[in-house]
């Protein structure tokens, strides 16, 4: 599966879940610095039941994004999250690369 196919699958699922009447949020990697596990433009779609598809990183970052997406679905206010770690905390935070990523979460209407 190519990057374009994976992105298309995530966006197609977001559209499908909205048509089914679910609350949906889309998380997108908008910036990276240093080594990052997923490139800019990577997506994660989350519904109101905590179903998700795609990836914006890995480790606890994904879990944090899913938790924040629930708030975005509920109140409709987008969020910009930043995850960055120093070398000694990189593994704990799920960014074994030690880089920084910014993830924008928005409600899908």
Tokens representing residue 51 in the block? 């179903």
Q: Where do the structural domains in the chain lie, given as residue ranges?
A: 3-107
CA distance 44 to 108: 12
CA 97 to chain CA centroid, Å, is 17
At residue 94, the pLDDT reads 53
CA distance 29 to 9: 16
What confidence tens digit (pLDDT) does each residue in 19-64 have?
999 999 999 999 988 877 888 999 999 999 999 999 998 666 889 9
User: How big is the chain, counted in residues?
Assistant: 109
Q: Which long-range contacts (CB under 8 A, 24 or more apart) does 36-42 make?
A: 36/95, 36/97, 36/99, 36/100, 36/101, 37/95, 37/96, 37/97, 37/99, 38/101, 39/3, 41/3, 41/7, 42/7
What confidence tens digit (pLDDT) does each residue in 65-108 have?
999 999 999 999 999 999 876 545 445 555 555 678 899 999 99
Tokens representing residue 37 in the block? 């596990």
């Amino acid at each position: 599966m190519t990057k374009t196919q994976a992105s298309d699958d995530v966006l197609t699922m977001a559209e499908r879940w909205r048509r089914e009447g679910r609350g949906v949020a889309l998380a997108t990697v908008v910036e990276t610095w240093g080594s990052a596990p997923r490139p800019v433009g990577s997506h994660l779609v989350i519904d109101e039941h905590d179903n998700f598809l795609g990836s914006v990183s890995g480790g606890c970052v994904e879990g944090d994004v899913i938790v924040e997406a629930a708030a975005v679905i509920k109140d409709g206010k987008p969020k910009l999250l930043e995850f960055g770690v120093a070398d000694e905390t990189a593994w704990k935070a799920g960014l074994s690369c030690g880089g920084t990523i910014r993830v924008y979460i928005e409600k899908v209407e």
